[in-house]
Amino acid sequence: MSISCGRPFLRAENIFKSRKQTGRHNPYNENCGKERTSMIRMLPRDFVLGATISAYQTEGAVDAAGRIPCAWDRWYARPDSTFDARNASGFYTSYREDIARCRAFNIRALGISLAWTRIIRDEQGTVNEEGVRFYQDVIRCCRENGIEPYVALYHFDTPLFLFDRGEWLAPETAEQFLHYAQVCFERFGGMVRYWITMKDPVSLVMNEYVAGQFPPAERFAAGKAVLALHSMLTAHSRAVIRYKEMGLPGKIGIVHRAESVYPLAGSPGSERAASLDDTLTNRFLLDGVLAGGYSAETMAGIRAILSQEPEFFDPAPDDLAALDKAAGQLDFLGVNYYASHFCEAWRDGAAQPADTGSYALKGISRRLGRADVPTTDWGWSIFPHGLYDMLLRIHEEYPHRPIYVTENGLGLHESLPAPGPDGQRMIEDDDRIDYLRQHLSAVLDAMEEGVDVRGCFVWSMLDAMSWTGGYDKRYGLFYVDESGRRFPKKSAFWFRDLSARRIMLTVDALRASVLAH
């Protein structure tokens, strides 16, 4: 795979400001891939370098210690499912060794998520003490190894009984989430300094109701996506408010999969299409959690999107009050970034099926690739400039909050090679190293423009079960084989050196560094 950061594209004025218009220097010109490949850059000593995992994708042990089913358990039990999360990466039984690996490879911050279904054991909200003890042990183990845990309350694993009642379309889910959040704050609040209410709300609702890749696998139901997303944002807001009311000493934020949207040049109506796509996938959430309410421009876009849908969006005053209060109390924003999107108008015919690289929604937009932008094995654009643009956009358009890039990584088809002359088995994942280095360069460029980015986390620390790619799609710094054994990849050694020395080495320079250790 050949990876380069590509050429910046002209953006619609009503979505993004041109760097030329703002007088800012754009570090990404048409030769930026060559320039970045040869550059060695320094990272600030206080810049957080970490890695991330999630509960359902790595823990396994789905029947252990009082855990109740989540929606994914039934989804993967379908006759046509080829994935099985019963073991996942085995973190539930191997967390001590995995956290020791983090320490050995200078992973000084570890993003984890708590499984709602391990901590709450029934519809009445009864606390599962075994689940509480497990996460207390995990967090304590992180602390003993000098690793800062960044703890997410929710990463897609809704209890099955709530999913069957409508999940985030039903008011009960938000009420149950607030109870669950308070239990976590009470039981872990003295141990956790960085809380995340939710990870990737937009990604969840878009995959549930537009792309149809997550249960309940509905397609093109944009109205349901908007209503579910608003419910999640108000639930997030009430959790932030409750946390602050409890007077706990830590910080709390939310994570958004913030991926830039660009109009396709020369396509009639592409700017309007990109604007509507961006409203649904970025502006709606960013308005709610950072500005404390939906702007008139955002609401106009949402009304246009819903004009073809049976749903009607009229947020309750209490919901808007919660958004407003929580936005003023939010301590940080997490940004997950994997790809950017290029859009054209789509008005003819029925809505088109979705795949991993694009989708089309009648009356909104069609996402397409560009021949001059490289892609991953799964059709996602490789475009570090989109991360730079998104960070600058958040900085320029919204009240300032510290930002963490809470996920960034490259999924690859990988298999464990035979042992080398030294008896070691190591995957030479130079593509992943180059991908991470280029995106980290984009972050450093944004920081030079004044954006307050405090750290970056690699997805993922371990190979994990991808929600739709299973174990074919591997992101980890550590390879996990069928028996659960861990093997550090070349990228793990790159990360170890980067974290220790704060010098971002090129792939060629890394080769000598690895051989020297």
Residues tagged active-site: 407
3-class SS of residue 410: coil
Enter the tokens of residue 107: 């992973």
DSSP character at residue 41: E
Alpha helices (runs of H) in 81-200, residue ranges in sequence order: 91-104, 116-119, 129-144, 160-163, 171-188
Question: Distance between CA 393 and CA 384 in Å, rounded?
Answer: 14
d(CA 195, CA 133): 18
User: Nearest 10 degrees: CA dihedral of 342, 344, 345, 348?
Assistant: -110
Q: Which residues contact 112 (CB under 8 A, 6 or more apart)?
A: 52, 53, 54, 55, 138, 149, 150, 151, 152
Max Cα–Cα distance, the chain, nearest Å: 68
Contact 478, 454 (CB under 8 A): no
Measure CA of the first residue to CA of the last residue in the chain; give whole Å. 27
Q: Which residues contact 168 (CB under 8 A, 6 or more apart)?
A: 158, 174, 205, 228, 229, 231, 232, 235
* Positive or negative: CA dihedral 16, 18, 21, 24: positive
Strands 41-42 and 503-504: antiparallel
d(CA 368, CA 330): 35
3-state secondary structure 469-493: CECCCECCCEEECCCCCEEECHHHH
Give which of 57, 303, 9 is closest to 200, Cα–Cα: 57
The full length of the chain comes to 517
